[in-house]
Structure 1
Amino acid sequence: MNCSTWLSLILVLVQPWPCSTSPRNSGTPNTEQPVTALRRVKRGWVWEPLYVTEEQTATEVYVGQLKSDLEKQDGNLKYILTGEGAETIFSINEYSGKIYVKQKLDREKKPFYVLRAQAISRKTQLPVEPESEFIIKVRDINDNAPQFLDGPYVVTVPEMSPADTSVIQVTATDGDDPSYGNNARLLYSLLQGQPYFSVEPKTGVIRMASGMDRETADQYFVIIQAQDMVGQAEALSATATVTIYLSDVNDNPPKFQQELYSMSISEEAPVGTTVGRVSAEDADVGENAAMNYSIEGDSLDFFDIITDNETQEGIILLKKRVDYESKRRHSIQAKVVNRHTDERFLEAEPFEDKTIVKIDVEDADEPPVFTLENYVMEIAEEAVSGSVVGMVTARDPDNDDSPVRYSIVQGMHFNRLFSIDEHNGTILTTQPLDREIASWHNITVTATETRNPEMISEATVYIQVLDVNDHAPEFPKYYETFVCENAVSGQLIQSISAVDKDDSPQGHHFHFSLAQEAASNSSFTVKDNQDNTAGIFTAKSGFSRQEEFAFFLPIIILDNGTPPLTSTNTLTVTVCDCDTEVKIVYCRYRAFMYAMGLSTEALVAVLACILILLGTNPFPR
């Protein structure tokens, strides 16, 4: 590889250096040169590193000199310059090899130029040196100020953050050469923002001081400066604005605006009425200012409190109706706490506050109050007209205690069964009552203030009519009883029971028997089953329809009321001619025709017609 090639590579990587430290015609060889240098016979170029400082404004500025070691100072060599900027930016003295720059250069646009040098003989016009490539480097000056390309900056950091918390890192850039001197070495400082913020000089990291309170100031404008030349006197600088917002943390407890609230509520106000509002302030914002209210005290049963989520006020509501005559003033303690807490600040102070609320009850003209909402009374049926049923009582709850007048609004029936004494509330009957017609009566009684007839209240009176044993037992229905002519003694021909319109608390119990006048000479007997039923049995064998068509048995039924009542019920037993069992339809119509005086043939014909109408074949094969 020839010397010019080595030179080009070295100039690109580091800076240009001459191929030889001394010219070929120096006379005496340098004994300190390596052996290869002593053996070199090829001539070459000799020059110093070439630099030109940017931004020079002179017409021609000397850069350096190219020189061949064959130069004899006789003017025989001609130097020629080619490559980037030759003749336009750079010029060369063809006799001396001196290079000049003809215009102002900007390193930031082009940091170096690659050129080629050639030396020729003026006599022969032939090269005496091979063409060689070299570099002219543009030397940097501090002509570029730093720039904040990302500014202005906006950042948010929580208030009360610890000291030296990193807020943001700002970075400036400088177009000068970072590898040459201090032109691009930056130094950061704060022009505005102390003592709340500081900046690391080399990194541009902004840090905050301790105890910064959003409630004192929630926005800061910090001006940061970047200087090159490490802040020396000739340094260029730039500034950027950093807007720093402090975000809220829950570091403030709620506080009531008043130590005592006074309110009032009418005693006639319904449950759910708003009594008033209490208000607490919290310097925090958003969810950190959300509050929950509660109440304490002896009147907890009468009042409740809820939070208005829009205004963060406490709304006191009536939970139970108040009474002026019972208690004219209530006192409660309202308590407010933050809905969301931050454990870091709980130890510093309690995040709650309390206040006293005095609530006066306003008097209102109230209607009379009955001692009971509903009255239940009893009276025995058949009680004479004017009998006392019971008494209702009402009073005016107001202080003036107005007299009360009583009246009956309506009853269950159109006819008035009851009356009331308008002065003392005594309820009377106007006629005897029958439990079997109605066992309960419901009436509405009103009480009206005499001084203010608009004040009226009502109460319901339920009147039960108590049973009296005034109804004797009887058959529940008409019994059709038949006995065959060929019946034998002891045959059951009928089962009977009884009903009673009266009400028996212990349950009805009936006793059945034949009347005494029929018991001694009767063809039938009655057997009491002791379960409110009885059986009618034949007392002889054989009956004759021609001799006695029907028997009339007087049955005595005894109840268990107080006093006991009895009744005599007649059971008709019709004699029927039949083979083995009683055919009810046949016997019923046979008895009817017999009673009408018809013959046996007529009876058979009529009966056949009836059976045909009923869909029954009277003459089966």
Structure 2
Amino acid sequence: MGSGAVERGRAERRPVLFPLLLSLFSPALSEQIRYRIPEEMPKGSVVGNLAKDLGFGVQELPTRKLRISSEKPYFTVSAESGELLVSSRLDREQICGKRPACALEFEVVAEDPLNFYHVSVELEDINDHTPKFTHMSFELQISESAQPGTRFILEVAEDADMASNSLQNYKLSPSPSFSLVNKEKQDGSKYPELVLEKMLDREQQSYHRLVLTALDGGNPPLSGTTELRIQVTDANDNPPVFTKEVYRVSLPENLPLGTTVLQVSATDQDEGINSEITYAFYRPGQVFTLNSKSGEIILQKTLDFEDIREYSLVVEGRDGGGLVAQCTVEISIKDENDNSPEVTFHSLLEMILESAVPGTLIALIKIHDQDSGENGEVNCQLEGDIPFKIISSSKNSYKLVTDGSLDRELTPEYNITITATDRGKPPLSSSKSVTLYIADINDNAPVFQQASYTVHVAENNPPGASIAQVSASDPDLGPNGQVSYSIVASDLEPRALLSYVSVSAQSGVVFAQRAFDHEQLRAFQLTLQARDHGSPALSANVSLQVLVGDRNDNAPRVLYPALGPDGSALFDTVPRAAEPGYLVTKVVAVDADSGHNAWLSYHVLQASDPGLFSLGLRTGEVRTARALGDKDAARHRLLVAVRDGGQPPLSATATLLLVFADSLQEALPDLTDHPVPSDPQEELQFYLVVALALVSVLFLLAVILAVALRLRHTSGPLAWGCFQHGPCSKPVPVVAPNYSEGTLPYSFNLCVEHMGKTEFNFQKCNDPLNSGQDILFGDSSGALFPLCSATESTSHPETLTSQAPPNTDWRFSQAQRPGTSGSQNGDETGTWPNNQFDTEMLQAMILASASEAADGSSTLGGGAGTMGLSARYGPQFTLQHVPDYRQNVYIPGSNATLTNAAGKRDGKAPAGGNGNKKKSGKKEKK
């Protein structure tokens, strides 16, 4: 194109762009922006100021970054001025072919914020193509018998230009025999017809040469020529005649190959060979074939509406004499829905934060369908129930945005499938899927596996041992899900906390920093925190309670009797007239442990006269088992062992010195005698007496056994009166103790039936003993047996005697009663924890009241509420010096509240009142 054509194209573009640019200043820019330019503009030519038409200022251009989104780079956008420039050759005929309207549509993408605009550039045709004939020359045979007015269709020239620049008319060089007529087809295209003006005479001129010229409508017009060679043939009076001058047919584009499109038909009135008609295409093509005999036109190539929408064919019918007739076949192609929509993603995000608000733009979507009409109208939708939606932006353009809250912990990624469906019948659709990943934020706090933790740790644990482990989970990713542990609160002192426990920040394992002591600290509570590493960090707290269990690591401690400052033992005085069951003294001991480990029992290790005194297994009370005989010694020594219930048990010992005397003055001379050297002869006599006594005891036991067996077979029920009614009604078999009901084992209470003064029969009692029913010293090994409360004759059994009233000197006022319940001493088979410790508290109060006898009084009575204790136990020994260990005791398997059963002492108080206790002035004889 010359420079004059370029200037002309620019001059023609200005009035066209002016009304279009006015519409661009409207507030809504959502409609398509249109430009119109001539084709073949030089590269770099300005189409229009796109930035101005979009309403962008020059200062916005660097941030908006306008760019073209198109398959072929026909245009570019100037980054400095925002002008739309031509970037490649624009040949309208090459781009659009013969289509009446030629427009290049593309998207202009702007960033910050992201958006796109639809732009259409219409290419105007210029006269840049000359009409061209297919052949430089062509021949035409005309019979000399042809009548004037006969018309012959000539070859058509091709012009790629459109509208006024296309082929407009044909001209024929001057000839007296021929003229030219311009005919127009249904689509508006022109074709020439040669008209015979007069009869031809082959003998005068058998050959005619004419020039056919094709002219377009350009300014100036362009033209093309071809030579027409006309041969005059011999006369054939009747040429073929077609039934129709123009055949028209409409075909679907999906018509199968080999289908007969239509059939042309021509007739000839001649006879013989001059009437035989042969059909042929004037210009053979590749899409259709023609049966030369039948005139059937058959499809041999696939039709495509999107490629060619109409075909125009010229069919010749030639008889045997050489006469030819022509007809036109116009075939129009109907569009079928044979193209599925195409889905294309632009500016697609691969990852989005789970905190993205609804409406966040994810991608731009463009839908394209090559079909026309309803077959090219497309609906777009999302598949599945996902928190996204598509919004129509412009024609066949959509935006993919979020339509709800996102949670990566529930759904870490989404497979988004977009389906485009056209409105054809039947409709066609296509789908395209993309994967969108959800980026994590720290929106989940750690969660502990348990609401609270409780751990049991036995005391004396090794320092550094792990005692518990807490675990918390966080579903977030990376640092947002990494959890560390720490101690944030405790009921311990802040300074002491670090010396007791620590926690591993990574594993949550709690370590003991020291050995725990149940007697000092029984339980403590920690508040542990799990914190993730997010920003900002989230945390959760949990309570951990540590219970320190008891171990038997404390031996019993004897409170009474206590040794004097010089290491000498105290002595207790017993009235000579004391009856069986008389309370002589009480061994008081405590244990710092708890539960079974603090359950004390009292046992006799050594006794100078095993049968004279009894010791309460649980109470520690020392009572007289029988009356003092004339041959019994006045001084006695008991070695008592106090054991706890631990495994293995721990023990302590206490020494008791007992003196039978009616007054303190009577006991003192015997205690102040100095020991004399022992005589070897006397020691020999002593061993002989002991051996004789043992033999006698064995003999008596054999006699007692024989008599008992004899009475069992021969005697009536009266001989076993001890087992008829009352406390000793019948034998009870010895069974293993049962611990399943939460109670603890107790020693069996036995009943003794007296047979004279030398024989005894031991049987079990079925009733629990009262506080007066104590344990009898069986032998020196410490075997103990409880006695019945009354002595019976074998020959004349009687009912058990009633219990004697308690010794008034041992009574306490309500304020003096020990224990939480204020009860008196309980019996040995009562509820063991409170009975034991109430007795200990009672003994401590007795010792505290000994200060009343510290005035040097020599009387045995000592006053009410005292036992005539030695002045060594002064006022400083009170209840506040006795630890209260009742909280250490529990009953395994039971949650019952410990109570104290009331009990009474058996036997009557002697006339002398209470005994008196004094320090021994010399060491006891061995």
Which TM-score band applies after superposition, normalised by the shorter structure?
Answer: 0.3 to 0.5
Q: Could you tell me the TM-score, scaled by structure 2's length?
A: 0.29
Q: Could you tell me the TM-score, scaled by structure 1's length?
A: 0.41
The structure with the largest strand share of the pair is 1
